Amino acid sequence: MQSTNATVIRLTRLTETSLIVHWFSESYGLIKTVAKGALRPKSLFAGQIDLFFSGEISFSRARRGELHSLREVLIQDCRQSLRENYTSTLLAAYCCQLLESAVEPEHSDPELYNLLSRVLTHLEVKLPRLNSLHHFENELVKILGVYHKQRSTETALRDTLGSLPAIRNKIIERLLQREDFSSSNQNLSS
């Protein structure tokens, strides 16, 4: 068995009672595990696995392939407040999708793990802003080594990854509407 700190970045139903859990981990980077029976009411994993949950996990490596068997989960942060604002949830999901498309499976990168932890913590305590999205993308291109001062971050990411998650445009639209609404309210109160 192997253990590491990890954050749930995606969940996929495998069977009626089991899940494939995509984790971004401190020690192993992007890993996928099967949580057998996770959807059963009396499961060992009941209430332990949801998007953006972080904690220590233990898993057994697969003999073949990249789908390992999840053995234990000890949640340290469920990030409940992140789910209370829809735009925060969307932005957190975007960051996870972008990160997942930017890394190779099972390639440890503590800097990227730290970046993900920081953005999720930020979105937990502060309302999402366009700056939050741009800051995450800027930090990501620097860590990936594709930053260039004469090229926009968006272009650098598109050139490197081929495309950006489709949800990006929806998030930008929502954030711009929110910021426009906030600035018009400030003007009215002045």
Looking at per-residue confidence, does 146 or 21 come out higher? Answer: 21
Residue 174, pLDDT above cutoff 70:
yes
Q: What is the mean pLDDT of the chain?
A: 91
Which pair of tokens denotes residue 111?
A: 């800097």
Say which DSSP state 182 is in.
H
pLDDT for the residue numbered 186: 53
How open is the CA angle 56-61-62, to the nearest 5 degrees? 140
Q: For residue 184, name the pLDDT band (cuts at 50, 70, 90).
A: low
pLDDT tens sequence across 81-106: 998 999 999 999 999 999 999 998 99
Whether the CB-CB separation of 52 and 79 falls below 8 Å is answered with yes
Question: Per-residue pLDDT for 187 more than 60?
Answer: no
How large a percentage of the chain has pLDDT more than 90? 82
HEC sequence for 102-158: HCCECCCCHHHHHHHHHHHHHHHHCCCCHHHHHHHHHHHHHHHCCCCCCCCHHHHHH
Q: Average the pLDDT over 32-46 and give the result.
A: 92
pLDDT for 151: 84
Mean pLDDT lowest for which of 25-34, 55-64, 92-101, 177-186?
177-186
d(CA 70, CA 56): 11
Mean pLDDT of 164-175: 94
pTM of the model: 0.88
**Cβ 120 vs Cβ 52: under 8 Å:** yes
pLDDT of the residue at 179? 73
Band (pLDDT 50/70/90 cuts) for residue 147 is: confident
Residue 167, classified by CB atoms within 10 Å of its CB into exposed (0-12), middle (13-18) or buried (19+), is middle
Higher pLDDT: 148 or 139? It is 139
Asked if residue 189 has pLDDT above 70, the reply is no
DSSP 163: S
